[in-house]
Amino acid sequence: VAMYPNTTNGAEAGQVESSNGPEIKTLDFDKDSDENAQFAIAFPKSWNEGTITFQAFFTANSTNTGTTAWALQGVALADNGDLNTAFGTAVLPTAKAMSGTANDLAVTAESGAVTIAGSPGDDEYVFFQIMRDVSEDTLTADARLLGVKLFFTTDAANDA
């Protein structure tokens, strides 16, 4: 729920209501064109400021077994940093096939290394952009992004 659609080529905010399970906020990415969403986090000081990897969690209200490809890119900004700084290169894991059952949870494989643009350091804010890359997938329905898991390396036991 901390993600938001881009103003230009943005995903559409959605919601999945199940009869017995959780009600889920989604970002619905169209099957016909690349769409984007963004989120931002401040990493702990114990982050080593290196590359990260990710997994995407998503679903589709479709019995289609096509694949979905998610790409992630990021940029780190320090105090007084220019907010008009380009993201780093987008990285995508192998496209993930849906199960063929509507509204099943799908989880991508862990991606390769994502290099965050800027000069990541302590007390910086990191902006991320996630995109459905329709040229790399075959799902003929909206892909409904539920969340993203970030993996990063630490080089300190705590943030003291």
Each residue's pLDDT expressed in tens, for the chain with a length of 160 residues: 789 999 999 999 998 888 888 888 999 999 999 999 999 999 999 999 999 999 999 999 999 999 999 999 999 999 999 999 999 999 999 999 999 999 999 999 999 999 999 989 999 999 999 999 999 999 999 999 999 999 999 999 999 8
Q: What does the pLDDT read at residue 16?
A: 84
Quick one: residue 141, left, alpha or beta (phi over 0 = left, psi -120 to 50 = alpha)? beta
Q: What does the pLDDT read at residue 116?
A: 98
- CA atoms of 27 and 145, how far apart (whole Å): 5
- E strands within the chain? 4-5, 12-16, 24-29, 35-41, 53-59, 67-68, 70-77, 96-97, 106-107, 125-132, 143-151
Using one digit for the tens of pLDDT, what is the confidence trace for 85-105? 999 999 999 999 999 999 999
Q: What does the pLDDT read at residue 21?
A: 83
Q: Please tell me the pTM assigned to this model.
A: 0.94
